[in-house]
Amino acid sequence: MSADIRLLKSSYFTFEHDGDEIPTVTDIELPEQRIEQITHDNGNPDPVQETQGRLLFGDLVVHRDIKADMSTKLYDEHDLAATTGDTSAIKKPLTIFIKDQESTTISTLKFTGTWVKEYHPPTLCAMRSDTATEMFVISVDYMEEE
């Protein structure tokens, strides 16, 4: 049984995109979840009926430090989406492994139907000495916890 991710420390995780670990990820904003509301017009003056539909997910936001020898996989995925325009052909699985202090996986978040829809390059500032950070916004079809 997996741990309740709402109670976990947020500093221990690994991030995989299509089976490859993406290094230097510093922050992940998990997607919001909402239930689709379906409106039915019954054709008479009575108010319309609303029923619950499927579970919908917002975007996953990933921040990572830029290093000279780092993977460009997420950027390449975004570039492919921008050039092909066909997201159905480029959707990939994504996994986040939540770990404890001993690096033992205690919960796994699996995302399906993901594609990188936005890339935000780092802000350049001559007065800062910290590492430049880039951000990716990833569209998610479905998420499950194991």
**Using one digit for the tens of pLDDT, what is the confidence trace for 86-113?**
888 889 999 999 988 888 898 899 999 9
- Which pair of structure tokens corresponds to residue 60? 């996953």
One-letter-per-residue 3-state SS of 14-53 = EEEECCEECCCEEEEECCCEEEEEEEECCCCCCCCEEEEE
Is residue 10's pLDDT more than 80? no
Report which of residues 57 and 50 the model is more confident about: 57
- Asked if residue 132 is part of any domain, the answer here is yes
- Asked if residue 12 is part of any domain, the answer here is yes
- Which pair of structure tokens corresponds to residue 69? 């020898």
Is residue 1's pLDDT more than 50? no
Q: Residue 41 in contact with residue 112, Cβ under 8 Å?
A: no
- Asked if residue 10 is part of any domain, the answer here is yes
- Asked if residue 44 is part of any domain, the answer here is no
- Asked if residue 43 is part of any domain, the answer here is no
- Asked if residue 92 is part of any domain, the answer here is yes
- Asked if residue 34 is part of any domain, the answer here is yes
- Which pair of structure tokens corresponds to residue 48? 């319309």
What CATH number is associated with residue 67? 2.30.110.20
Mapping DSSP to helix (H, G, I), strand (E, B) and coil, where does residue 73 land? helix
**Number of domains, the chain:** 1
Whose CA is closest to 106, among 68, 52, 146?
Answer: 146
- Segments forming the whole domain that contains residue 30: 5-38+49-145
pLDDT tens-digit series, residues 115-126: 999 999 988 777
Residue type, 14: T
- DSSP assignment letter at 10: T
- Asked if residue 76 is part of any domain, the answer here is yes
